[in-house]
Each structure stands twice: as structure tokens, then as C-alpha cells.
């Protein structure tokens, strides 16, 4: 995950008051001043297509991948959007944006990052990561990274992950197994931290996520 070149923070109208900002900050790894700075970013994204102060899926995809292309469904982008959309109403509100983006703050505990990543791969929301779900996400990440590897290599990635993570050998990975796996393999959560979020009051990053995944780094 990464970001575009940055620019200085600009003053912008606020839709939340100080108390609301403080409440949102308390639910995240951001300070009140950082929440205020992030509002400018939120406003830019939420008015990029539909000017209603809410982030719609199309706007999220444009911000995520710098593309308005609708040529195909994007599983990775859809899953991240769904997790940001905590109310499940098809849009991302400012509070949801801050709480979800907070997961990627370098100071956020690894346990929270692992939990978010688990939900990302639990496509059917069953509380388990199953082999076919893992394979679907591997293929989606490879596609976004423009990596072309053989089907045998994809199967090897999935098999290796399950060999290490599926401790009880029931053919699926539960949250506890996932937590152990990520602790033993910290590189798994490498893209769950965005260093620039620690300097959000100094810079104004464009919110662009890249799946910076190489074949050597692929665990999934």
C-alpha cells in the first residue's frame, strides 16, 4: 500500500464540531488535529464523483486505484470498501473512514491489523478463511499487482499458507490460527501500515492503495 506525492494541508470547511472530532479520535489511533487534517482528504474523495459528502464505491475505487475503469469487478477494492462501510449502507461516512483508516496507522496494535486482514480474506463472513477464499484473494492481489504467475505457483502459495496456518487441519483457518500465523510471519501484515499516517498534519496525502506485492512476498 502506498500513496501519491504529498502536498501541504489546506484549510477546509468542517462538518464536525470539536466534540465530534474528539469522539472520532478517541475511537482511533489519530489525534484530534490529525482527524481535522484527514477531513480535507475525506472531503476530496467524497466529492470526486457524487458531491454529497459521502464516499461511494466508485469514488473509493478511483481513490484506491487512480482509475475510473469499470471494465471488471475488483474483489480487493470491493472487500476493503465493505470493511470501511461499517454500517453496511453502501457509503462511507467520515467517522467510518477515520476508524477504518486508523487500522493502517503504524501505532495501531498488530492484533487489530491482523483482525482487519482476517475479515478481508473471510469473503463469505463465516468466521473462517477457507481455501477457495484464500485463492480468490491471491488471484485478486496478483491481478492488482500486475503479476503474472502460473496456476501451479498460486496453488503453492495457498498450500504453503494452509500448511502453516491451519494447525488443527480442518481445512480452514480460524481467527486464533490466523493470529498465530501473522505473529510467526510478520511480513503478512506489511501492507497494513502506512507510515505517512504518522505525519498527517504535516502533509496531505492522496489516498491511494497499491498492492505492492511481489512473487517473493506473496503469502496469499
DSSP of 75-93, one letter per residue? HHHHHHHHHH-TT-SSEE-
CB 60 within 8 A of CB 97: no
Nearest-angstrom CA–CA distance, 137 and 149: 14
Under 8 Å between Cβ of 60 and 81 = yes
Q: Mind listing the pLDDT tens digit for each residue in 135-186?
A: 999 998 888 777 888 999 999 999 999 999 999 999 999 999 999 999 999 9
72-92: pLDDT as tens digits: 567 888 999 999 999 999 999
| Matching CATH number, 18-199, of 1.10.3720.10, 1.10.510.10, 1.10.1070.20, 1.10.238.10 | 1.10.238.10
d(CA 59, CA 131): 31
What is the tens place of the pLDDT at every residue in 36-83?
A: 889 988 999 999 999 999 999 999 988 876 655 444 567 888 999 999
| Predicted structure pTM score | 0.79
> How many beta carbons lie within 10 A of that of residue 20, not counting itself?
14
Amino acid at each position: 500500500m502506498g500513496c501519491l506525492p504529498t502536498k501541504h494541508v489546506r484549510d477546509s470547511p468542517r462538518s464536525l464540531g470539536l466534540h465530534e472530532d474528539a469522539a472520532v479520535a478517541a475511537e482511533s489511533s489519530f489525534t484530534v488535529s490529525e482527524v481535522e487534517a484527514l477531513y480535507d482528504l475525506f472531503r476530496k474523495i467524497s466529492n470526486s464523483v457524487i458531491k454529497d459528502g459521502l464516499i461511494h464505491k466508485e469514488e473509493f475505487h478511483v481513490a484506491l486505484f487512480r482509475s475510473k475503469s469499470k471494465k471488471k469487478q475488483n474483489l480487493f477494492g470491493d472487500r476493503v470498501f465493505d470493511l470501511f462501510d461499517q454500517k453496511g449502507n453502501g457509503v462511507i461516512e467520515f467517522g467510518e473512514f477515520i476508524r477504518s483508516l486508523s487500522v493502517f496507522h503504524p501505532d495501531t496494535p498488530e492484533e487489530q491489523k491482523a483482525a482487519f486482514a482476517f475479515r478481508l480474506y473471510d469473503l463469505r463472513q463465516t468466521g473462517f478463511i477457507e481455501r477457495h477464499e484464500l485463492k480468490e484473494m491471491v488471484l485478486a492481489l496478483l491481478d492488482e499487482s500486475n503479476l503474472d504467475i502460473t496456476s501451479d505457483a498460486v496453488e503453492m502459495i495457498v498450500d504453503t499458507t494452509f500448511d502453516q496456518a491451519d494447525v488443527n487441519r480442518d481445512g480452514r483457518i480460524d481467527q486464533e490460527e490466523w493470529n498465530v500465523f501473522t505473529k510467526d510471519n510478520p511480513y503478512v501484515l506489511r501492507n497494513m501500515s502506512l507510515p505517512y499516517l504518522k505525519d498527517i498534519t504535516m502533509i496531505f496525502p492522496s489516498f491511494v492503495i497499491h498492492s505492492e506485492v511481489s512473487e517473493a512476498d506473496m503469502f496469499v
